[in-house]
Structure 1
């Protein structure tokens, strides 16, 4: 379909074709009359995937992996109508090879090439997640006036990867215990969540827990080669300010107040309504599920209260005083940043004077475990979303 013996389209040209024929993305009710003939043509999507991820592999960045994902066609009873070929998972995986048809083999008959193209576009794009503690007042000021700076009290930036599978973590052992398909959701998991976000502690009732997911490069951001210039004419300067190509895109942004996290942590049962439905697991750490703005996406967070060791500071073996030696400090105080420890201690000192213990301030450590979003939301934003990204 492409080239007819001539030069193959560039990645920018291919992406423009994909945008042109992506009218069905994001629609809950699909009317095939709304789709172009090309959009329903599996051969078109097969060829685009072949050119973009097989033929274009020599332009892959060093950090890209060489796995390709293939979504199975849906039968009358969902995925898995042809179990003799590839099992009952909604997708299967192959390692890159020079020829697409040889790579897929006889499984080609069960591949939905359109959805496979989108899934690979998502999987081969680079992402970062920002977790921050912000003042509620600062967030309100920013929402009312976008020009107001949004300066976090504390933040952590972490590289994450898009996957059509989900990892279930065992909170008491901090080890992944099961991996299962998540598709049509895409999961961005943080395997080392406990150590990565150890210092993210809400220590004030004005604190808010903020999560941002940004796409920052990779397959959805092909590098465009500048057009050749006439050597006899003076060089052209960019008069449009920053480059027009997207280099960063916010896919998810949301925050919750300390009070909302505290109520979930205390209750251990449904109490957030539609905004933050959550689950409760036994033990000292609660697994809380937070719905994104407008019900879009889901954030999984491990929340634990920081123990009050303020009374220990006068003891000869106080964990606040011991920095070295044979004492198992980690068993007495869970590792936390010194700033968070001091803030937690001060918060307890204030809370101890409160008459009603139910309103006492309890420092809460919030460790982001994963973010999940439907693939169609991600694909739509990668292709069409404009505007400046959210920066923290």
Structure 2
């Protein structure tokens, strides 16, 4: 076993070993001649997982999530071994325990230890997603000179979590969700997407909707890692400020979102796919593919209602409540008034920014999820480092 006969390797040393023996990541057809003997050795991956996620003090002290994921070996017809205890999911989950072999028991024989190590590395890394509205000119300037960060018109930063499960939100009843295995894809879902991104509204034909997923810490960033060229060290504290690792970045223009929203069907090839919700309100799902077809972003798009002509609080208004009514009536009127003001402002901005070629409609875009293949994420966590493009 790794570490026998001496001190166990540090997390940084273990990650260096993993990187050295990760030539197979991203290959759809595996040629065993391209792989090292270690890379094909399941015992090596078993021992690395044991040291990194079971025996390491750092993992027990700093991990917020004590779940460990184990990927099943793939049979001739895909995943599934008729194991009544685990079902036919491509993976199963256990809570952390002090001994790995006791944790998995007889299931050890069906575990792909190499893929399990990568899945846990992904699941126990920390992530953030940035949703921003940028101008087309700003994006063009960035693409021509990537040394200059983008200056977004508006942006929101949100913590997200990697999961081998996919959450299917029902737009007609957001309390209803379905969860099913997504692996070999990894899903980053935003459960409160409707409230988190309520203010992300495209109000100008020059606007672009931008999504950025970053890895920011956790298992893929061991504290023993020495300073690199793309990290900075504080002279006062001596602490390393790690650069964010960008895993996904993409954008679509207002026109693309608007045309998909109006058409209600796919019209953008690999860039955008489209699907309707069955609810009464006009809220639709748009799927954006990342550059080169890598990854998928799911966005709930809805038009902002124009209340500029409404006479709020009139006797004919459904929200009109007599003076003798409950005090909650005043609270409802106040909340609705705030919403109306926001909608009026959005429409005023839309009218002012209209270029005359398109009847401008403000569109609210709420990010629901990002999905990426696990091999892309694992490869980038091990081999790439890229700065955040936003200031």
Query: TM-score, normalization: structure 1?
Result: 0.86
| Distance change in 2, residues 1:298/1:322 (3 Å) | farther
Unmatched tracts of structure 1, length 5 or more: 231-237
Contact 2:127 2:159 in 1 (8 A): yes
Instruction: State the SS of the aligned residue for 1:277.
Output: strand
2:273 maps to 1:274: no
Aligned mates of 2:136, 2:32 — CA distance in 1: 46
Unmatched tracts of structure 2, length 5 or more: none
RMSD of aligned Cα (Å): 4.3
Contact 2:283 2:301 in 1 (8 A): yes
| Distance change in 2, residues 1:85/1:257 (3 Å) | same
Contact 2:171 2:278 in 1 (8 A): no
| Distance change in 2, residues 1:250/1:319 (3 Å) | farther
Q: Displacement of 1:293 after TM fit?
A: 1.1
Q: Displacement of 1:83 after TM fit?
A: 3.0
Contact 2:185 2:373 in 1 (8 A): yes
Q: Displacement of 1:27 after TM fit?
A: 1.4
Contact 1:313 1:320 in 2 (8 A): no
Q: Displacement of 1:81 after TM fit?
A: 3.1
Contact 1:45 1:114 in 2 (8 A): yes
| Distance change in 2, residues 1:86/1:162 (3 Å) | same
Aligned mates of 1:368, 1:328 — CA distance in 2: 35
Contact 1:207 1:257 in 2 (8 A): yes
Q: Displacement of 1:60 after TM fit?
A: 4.2
Aligned mates of 1:206, 1:327 — CA distance in 2: 46
Q: Displacement of 1:92 after TM fit?
A: 0.1
Compare 179-188 and 164-173 and name the one that shifted more.
164-173
Compare 289-298 and 380-389 and name the one that shifted more.
380-389
| Distance change in 2, residues 1:310/1:324 (3 Å) | farther
| Distance change in 2, residues 1:43/1:376 (3 Å) | same
Query: TM-score, normalization: structure 2?
Result: 0.86
Contact 2:70 2:92 in 1 (8 A): yes
Compare 103-112 and 349-358 and name the one that shifted more.
349-358
| Distance change in 2, residues 1:34/1:192 (3 Å) | same
Aligned mates of 2:330, 2:365 — CA distance in 1: 19
Aligned mates of 2:236, 2:333 — CA distance in 1: 51
Aligned mates of 1:134, 1:335 — CA distance in 2: 32
| Distance change in 2, residues 1:118/1:92 (3 Å) | same
Alignment of 1:122-201 (within 5 A): 122-201=122-201
| Distance change in 2, residues 1:320/1:201 (3 Å) | farther
